[in-house]
Amino acid sequence: MKRVAVVGATGYAGAELVRILAGHPEAELSLITSRQYAGAPIAKVYPAFAGAVELVCEAFDADAAAERADIVFTALPHQLPMEIVPDMVRRGLRVVDLSADFRFRNVDAYAAAYQPHSAPELSAAAAYGLSEIYGEEVRTAKVVGNPGCYPTSILLPLVPLLRAGRISPDGLIADAKSGVSGAGRSPGLGTHFPEVHESFKAYKVGAHRHTPEMNEVLTRESGSRVGLTFVPHLVPMSRGMLSTVYAAPSDGLTAAEAREILTDAYAGRPFVRVLPEGEFPATRSVRGTNRCDIGVAMDPAGDRLILISAIDNLVKGAAGQAVQNMNLMLGLDEAVGLNAVPYPL
Amino acid sequence: MKRVAVVGATGYAGAELVRILAGHPEAELSLITSRQYAGAPIAKVYPAFAGAVELVCEAFDADAAAERADIVFTALPHQLPMEIVPDMVRRGLRVVDLSADFRFRNVDAYAAAYQPHSAPELSAAAAYGLSEIYGEEVRTAKVVGNPGCYPTSILLPLVPLLRAGRISPDGLIADAKSGVSGAGRSPGLGTHFPEVHESFKAYKVGAHRHTPEMNEVLTRESGSRVGLTFVPHLVPMSRGMLSTVYAAPSDGLTAAEAREILTDAYAGRPFVRVLPEGEFPATRSVRGTNRCDIGVAMDPAGDRLILISAIDNLVKGAAGQAVQNMNLMLGLDEAVGLNAVPYPL
Amino acid sequence: MKRVAVVGATGYAGAELVRILAGHPEAELSLITSRQYAGAPIAKVYPAFAGAVELVCEAFDADAAAERADIVFTALPHQLPMEIVPDMVRRGLRVVDLSADFRFRNVDAYAAAYQPHSAPELSAAAAYGLSEIYGEEVRTAKVVGNPGCYPTSILLPLVPLLRAGRISPDGLIADAKSGVSGAGRSPGLGTHFPEVHESFKAYKVGAHRHTPEMNEVLTRESGSRVGLTFVPHLVPMSRGMLSTVYAAPSDGLTAAEAREILTDAYAGRPFVRVLPEGEFPATRSVRGTNRCDIGVAMDPAGDRLILISAIDNLVKGAAGQAVQNMNLMLGLDEAVGLNAVPYPL
Amino acid sequence: MKRVAVVGATGYAGAELVRILAGHPEAELSLITSRQYAGAPIAKVYPAFAGAVELVCEAFDADAAAERADIVFTALPHQLPMEIVPDMVRRGLRVVDLSADFRFRNVDAYAAAYQPHSAPELSAAAAYGLSEIYGEEVRTAKVVGNPGCYPTSILLPLVPLLRAGRISPDGLIADAKSGVSGAGRSPGLGTHFPEVHESFKAYKVGAHRHTPEMNEVLTRESGSRVGLTFVPHLVPMSRGMLSTVYAAPSDGLTAAEAREILTDAYAGRPFVRVLPEGEFPATRSVRGTNRCDIGVAMDPAGDRLILISAIDNLVKGAAGQAVQNMNLMLGLDEAVGLNAVPYPL
């Protein structure tokens, strides 16, 4: 049993980590921290956990982490992890960070989107934890930068087709829709119930910080500079993310071929499911799971490939993929602990 | 006071017609019909109307319509209007039809998407009731084919830019999102509360019948054959529609120029509002109104124009625009009766 | 045309006042204030108002109010109105206050529930603005304390039966359910979308400050000391309030008699609707209206009278009743300006 | 490993049974049936199950059930189980029925509320599967009538206090609120999304068929004839149930004593949690769990005991309790297979 710590356990991604790790057969959740709720049982913060998770939140302490854990998940707002991760790595801990701090190989791109990076070498050496794509790097990484939820949902359908050279790297568009939990647990007018309910809107049009994160990967995989057009939207629901991606097919690509390329690319991988012709995912279908469901169509009129992917933003888009990365780092089957049967409804 | 009838008053669009017409200062709602609820006060079907609308639903009867109304709204499933509208026109009534039956000038396109048309000459002669674009035709039309909700939200931002030749007619993409009332009032598993709530999905991908409706208009306005890529999605809310439209700019079009073209095109028109730079619409902002709010951005990376429009699918997307068309047909100010102050929330 | 001011126009009740007053044929909305949004058009804060309400928020200034208004609505958190209302009254303004500050005749009860009252004489002299019950006092009042939303929904079904002596003042229970807008527009964890959505709970069990407000009225009307059992609950919806009230019948009261007593009590009053046998209200049925719908049943097993009332918490529960009170104060028909046809859906 | 069958696996309770049983360590889900979906993989009906549950729905066949299962769950509309259960019992199967058909010891009461019973002896001999209360009967029963969701949420807080004689059996009131999944998976206008969303209402006031089910138990446990006043309400959410129960205390019962009686009654039982003073449950807190959380307060003014209980209507209110009963019948720990860590959100 590996001992694992969750630093920042009371945000939504942190709580989802607690859910998954508390049921993980090869990991022992040995330490959870929360600045705001230090001293409180996690089941006070998330009463659903009552009787199921007995842990008490502690204030973060690097010594305690080093002593009581083998691997650490940091689920904190960006800028905090880069302050504490280097020290933990020095103490021999391996880290899966769920913020943006270790997602960029190009630290300048990080600096342009966020702020100057205080641990640039560590960032450049980290693995990008898109498990199905960069699993090999993840296995041996000291630090894994767990991808953003939008990038996960958008890169999984795109990367195999780009690698195969069967879609153009130019003119890619991702129209993405997220539930409100993606905004985190801190209240604000933009997530105040009466402002969100019965409304739908786009936000950060052309300005979301997941764009440079995706462009770095898309550029690497396609071999040419990619400038993705990305428009995120807010859906009046708590969890779930659906991305509708538009791409220009190359070399007469058909929908069937695209489906085959994706199916082959993810053969043997338990969490990506390419749907048969005429089927498209709904967020309900992946709720509570670590799956990414992908539907494929070719628009006849426009000769445009349409890729629709659905994930649970808190699972495959955050905590679930983080645990999948931990499994890879520990040499376990990547699906261990991620097979709880989801609620049907 | 013109006497107006609503045929099919108990569906969602019909009820919204009743709401608007009951408060219209120049129209008298003289007759409402419902097959299912004949004999019942409308306020039994929609209790919100209690004390506000006293009308009783009747079975449809062409003689009664001809006798008691000057203008008729038909809010019925497609295929029914083309059976009854020709007779009403012969009796001298003018008709605003909210179904698809009179939206197509090219009756073959209608037949391909729906079924053979039983009143092809009348259809070919009808006006397409996109009020801001075809107001002149509407004024004198005997029959107005009121546009679909998706086409309204997508054509309003596109037509002025196509007419100006400042976006390419090729490669247009409309990623659209609708509330559940767009599916009508007939229950089914796809609109059953527990199936829809907390879920988001695409549907009829590349196969929605609003696509040929839009292509006919886009082709006419751009002068070249347009094959729009259109993907509709279902939002877990009752009313509201938001469309995110992607277009390739021509001749170095900037976002500011696009905004100016749209602003000029809709100058003096009360219901289209082009938002200033950096502002984008939400469906809440137009809920209960006949407005279409449009936000404009240029994606720097992709050199792609992004147009985001929001309407209330039951108002500007159906009943409100139908009344706007009636106003035009009657020579009234197009905004009469459409100025009720909306709920702020 | 009377000139009216809304002090605190950007909270939910304030915005609803703006909606109603902007459409009021006998009032001119001459001044709106907001501390937070001074200088901003109200349509920036509530974009639904774009094109419909042109007013700009100002900072509150008593001189401006006295100069530009004849009657003032104060829609502020409690404790603020009692600081500013006395001065406005001295300047000859009449005031409808939507906070708790002028709801109590017994200032000690106010002090026990809130804080010491700084204008006790004015409070004791104010009218309690439950329009159907205390309309006479309201007509001539300088200051009207507009009732809380819960008290409105609970007192309207109870008072006529208590006055008639046909239910016992002992053992009254009100189990009430409110939409989230009742908590106001200030964000907090308790109104954060993912915390509220898909959840239902009771709150402030036995401790809500509307209890003493109701007890004062119930005691006055029944002639004996009433200690209402009141449990409020939070419904995952934005607007609407439904109260289920349980009372012990006296003198063999039947449901039909209770219905008749209520019907008689509210005869000629446009906003209270007593439903026929077997019908019960839903919040949707009164959404956007100033109505209170009341259903009545006698539980055969328990010989218990069940009264179910539904209101829109922001209209009859706040802004609508406030305007109804203004109408009474101005000698107008109480329904003027409150007859906009509501959304059917 | 005991082999279990679910007859009626595609309704909401059936699907929840599949979820729980697929993860049960001591049971093998060997057969699932569905009239409507015979031949279809359950993961086609509930795509969330993809990759997690491989079973295919079959048409019901008593021979197959007898051959392939040791214990059977029937999750069918009432009236169907009483037709097929007797035959299964004759073949040696034990049955947990989730309909009303085996909930009544008094078959006349069943007949009055539903229809004549075709297997009256079997019904009279069945155990009422309120696990914490009738666990002993359940252990040895051939047929268990699994309680309704409302009865579960209302009886659990009441029975220990009635048994202790510390509340009066007279004047009991249960004001209960349910999510929409309680209405099942068959669509209808009453569960059509736009009709339910943003609305709240009572239904079947004084006429719900769970009332006689509860009265039978309450009468048995209190020793005097109980006529519960019961008003169910519909909450615009998918799952969850909260009941607010009002009772007259006896012998000077205090809230602390009531809490102690309940705590003692459920000591050692894993699924009932009595909350400390000042804490009250929310449906979110029990979502996905088999728990019933109970909060207790004494209303000072009314000297009225307030008991608030929350369950997940599909788990403790249906499938979870059914599995708990199976565990008891099989001599297992009652919590086996019911300990999956729930979603925090």
Facing residue for A246 by CB, picked from B195, B229, B297: B229
CB D255, CB D313: distance < 8 Å: no
What DSSP character marks residue D341? Answer: P
Query: 3-state DSSP call for residue C119?
Result: coil
Answer whether residue B104 shows pLDDT above 90.
yes
Residues of D with CB under 8 A from a CB of B: 12, 179-181, 185, 187-189, 191-194, 196-198, 236-239
Tell me the chain C residues in contact with residue A196 when contact means C-beta distances shorter than 8 Å: 193
User: Among candidates B125, B25, B16, which has minimal Cα distance to B73?
Assistant: B16
Nearest CA in chain B to A237: B198
**CB–CB of D272/D266 below 8 Å?**
yes
**The predicted structure's pLDDT at residue C302:** 75
Neighbours of chain C (3+ CB pairs under 8 A): A, B, D
Contacts D193 to B, Cβ<8 Å:
180, 191-193, 196-197, 236, 238
Stated pTM of the model: 0.97
CB C52, CB B289: distance < 8 Å? yes
Q: What percent of chain B has pLDDT over 90?
A: 98
Mutation site, A19, A198, A341, interface D, largest D CB count within 10 A: A341
Closest residue of chain A to B176, computed from CA coordinates: A175
Of how many residues is chain B composed? Answer: 345
**C153, C233, C234, C312: best to mutate for the D interface, most D CBs within 10 A:** C233
CA pseudo-torsion sign C60, C66, C72, C78 = positive
Shortest distance, CA C314 to any CA of chain A (angstroms)? 12
Q: Output phi, psi for D152, to 5 deg.
A: -60, -45
Question: What value does the mean pLDDT of chain B take?
Answer: 97
Residue A70 pLDDT: 97
For β-strands A292-299 and A272-274, DSSP reports them as: parallel
Q: Do A18 and D181 touch (CB under 8 A)?
A: no
CB of D18 within 8 A of CB of D6?
yes
**Which residues, 6+ apart, have CB-to-CB distance to D223 below 8 Å?**
D169
Contact criterion met (CB < 8 Å) for B187 and D192:
yes
Kindly determine whether residue C228 and residue D301, on different chains, have CB atoms separated by under 8 Å: yes
Q: Which residues of A touch B344 (CB under 8 A)?
A: none
Q: What is the pLDDT of residues C257-274, one digit of tens each?
A: 999 999 999 999 999 999
Question: From residue A316, how far is each of A322, B122, C17 by CA, in Å?
Answer: 8, 54, 45
Q: Which of D10, D185, D193, D195 to mutate to test the interface with B (most CBs of B within 10 A)?
A: D193
DSSP string covering C179-234, please?
-GGGG-SS--GGGBHHHHTT--EE-STTT-THHHHHHHHHHHHHSS----EEEEEE
Q: How many helices (H) and strands (E) does chain D have?
A: 12, 13
Nearest CA in chain A to B285: A199
> What pLDDT shows up at residue A302?
75
Please name the chains neighbouring B, where neighbouring means 3+ C-beta pairs under 8 angstroms: A, C, D
In the numeric block, which tokens belong to residue A310? 């659905």
Q: CB under 8 Å to B343, separation ≥6 — which residues?
A: B287, B288, C16, C19, C48, C288, C343
CB of C18 within 8 A of CB of C29?
A: yes
Instruction: Using alpha carbons, select from D280, D293, D299, D309 the residue that is nearest to residue D342.
Output: D293
Contact C187 A187 (CB under 8 A): yes
At residue C57, the 3 state secondary structure works out as: coil
How close is the nearest chain A Cα to the Cα of D111, in Å?
A: 33
Contacts of B181 in chain D (CB under 8 A): 194
Closest Cβ–Cβ partner in B23, B181, B342 for C48:
B342
Q: What is the pLDDT of residue B337?
A: 98
What residue type is assigned to position A151 of the chain? Answer: P
- pLDDT (0 to 100) of residue C167: 98
Compute the count of residue pairs across chains A and D with CB atoms less than 8 Å apart: 117
Averaged pLDDT for residues A113-117:
96
- In this structure, of B175-179, C278-282, C302-306, D80-84, the range with the lowest mean pLDDT score is C302-306
* B214 DSSP assignment: H
Query: CB–CB of C185 and A189 under 8 A?
Result: yes
Give the whole-number percent of chain A exceeding pLDDT 70: 100
Contact A201 B246 (CB under 8 A): no
Task: Give kind and range of the element (H or E) at residue C144.
Answer: strand C143-145
Q: Read off the pLDDT of residues C207-253 as tens digits, 9 standing for 90 and up.
A: 899 999 999 999 999 999 999 999 999 999 999 999 999 999 999 99
Beta bridge partners of D315: none
Q: D194 and B236 in contact by Cβ < 8 A?
A: no
Contacting residues of D for C205, CB less than 8 Å apart: 280, 295, 297, 306, 308
Contact A177 B172 (CB under 8 A): no
Contacts of A97 (CB under 8 A, 6+ apart): A73, A74, A81, A85, A126, A143, A144, A145, A146
Tokens of A24: 């993980």
Supply D93's token pair: 């199967």
The answer to whether B127 touches B94, Cβ cutoff 8 Å, is no
Query: What domains, with CATH codes, occur in chain B?
Result: 2-125 (3.40.50.720), 150-313 (3.30.360.10)
A35 and A60 in contact (C-beta within 8 Å)? Answer: yes
Query: In sequence order, what are the beta bridge partners of C196?
Result: none
Question: Looking at the annotation, which residues of B are catalytic?
Answer: 149
Q: Is the pLDDT of residue D301 over 90?
A: no
Provide the pLDDT for residue D238: 98
Contact present, C328 and C139 (Cβ < 8 Å): yes
Average pLDDT of every residue of chain C:
97
* Element housing B144 (H / E): strand B143-145
- Quick one: DSSP state of residue B30? E
Give the list of residues 6+ apart from residue C53 with CB closer than 8 angstroms, or none: B341, C18, C19, C22, C29, C42, C43
Q: Which residue of D has its CA nearest to C305?
A: D229
**Among positive and negative, which fits the CA dihedral C264, C266, C267, C273?**
negative
A199, A200, A206: residue with CB nearest B299: A206
**Residue carrying the six token digits 């009021």:** C24
The pLDDT value recorded for residue D278 is 96
Q: Which among A283, A287, A345 is the nearest to B194, CB-wise?
A: A345
C92-101 core/surface letters (b: 16 or more CB in 10 A; e: else): ebbbbbbbbb
Contacts of B157 (CB under 8 A, 6+ apart): B243, B245, B262, B294, B296, B307, B308, B309
pLDDT at B188: 98
Q: What is the pLDDT of residue A316?
A: 98
User: How would residue B300 be classed by pLDDT, with cut points 50, 70 and 90?
Assistant: confident
- Condensed to tens digits (0 to 9), the pLDDT of residues B5-64 reads 999 999 999 999 999 999 999 999 999 999 999 999 999 999 999 999 999 999 999 999
Going from the C-alpha of C95 to that of each of B272, C91, C109, C143, the distances in angstroms are: 38, 11, 22, 5
Compute the Cα dihedral for A40, A42, A47, A50 and give only its sign: negative
Q: What distance in Å separates residue A2's CA from the closest CA in chain B?
A: 35
Q: In the prediction, which pLDDT does B331 show?
A: 98
pLDDT higher than 90, residue C301: no
Please give the structure tokens belonging to residue B234. Answer: 């279902």
3-state helix, strand, coil in chain A (%, to 5): 35, 20, 40
Average pLDDT over residues A303-322: 98
> How many angstroms separate the CA of residue D86 from the nearest CA in chain A?
30
Binding-site residues on chain A for chain C (CB distance < 8 A): 12, 179-181, 185, 187-189, 191-194, 196-198, 236-239
Nearest by CB to residue C52, choosing from B48, B287, B339, is: B339
Give CA angle at C263 (C261, C265), nearest 5°: 65
pLDDT tens by residue, D248-275:
999 999 999 999 999 999 999 999 999 9
CB–CB of C47 and B284 under 8 A?
yes
Mutate to test the interface with A, among C37, C44, C193, C198 (most CBs of A within 10 A): C193
Phi and psi torsions of A208, nearest 5°: -80, 140
Question: In chain B, whose CA is at the least distance from the CA of A287?
Answer: B199
Percentage helix, strand, coil, to 5, in chain D? 35, 20, 40
Lowest model confidence (mean pLDDT) among C55-59, C227-231, D298-302: D298-302
From chain A, the residues in CB contact with D238 under 8 A are: 345
Neighbours of chain D (3+ CB pairs under 8 A): A, B, C
CB contacts, 8 Å: B12 with chain D:
194
How far apart CA A22 and CA A19 sit, in angstroms, is 5
Q: What is the DSSP string of A257-293?
A: HHHHHHHHHTTT-TTEEEPPTT---BGGGGTTSS-EE
Catalytic positions of D, written as ranges: 149
Helix (H, G, I), strand (E, B) or coil at D291: coil
Q: Chain C closest CA to D85's CA: distance in Å?
A: 32
Q: Confidence band (pLDDT; 50, 70, 90) for A301?
A: confident
The Cα D317–Cα D321 span in angstroms is 7
Set of chain D residues whose Cβ sits within 8 Å of the Cβ of C179: 198, 200
CB contact under 8 A, B240 and A284: no
Higher pLDDT, A1 or B129: B129
Angstrom distances, CA of residue A10 to CA of A30, A56, A66, A74, D291? 15, 11, 21, 11, 22
Please list the residues that pair with C293 across neighbouring strands.
C273, C310
Q: Do B206 and A173 touch (CB under 8 A)?
A: no
Closest of A335, A293, A66 to residue A157, by C-alpha: A293
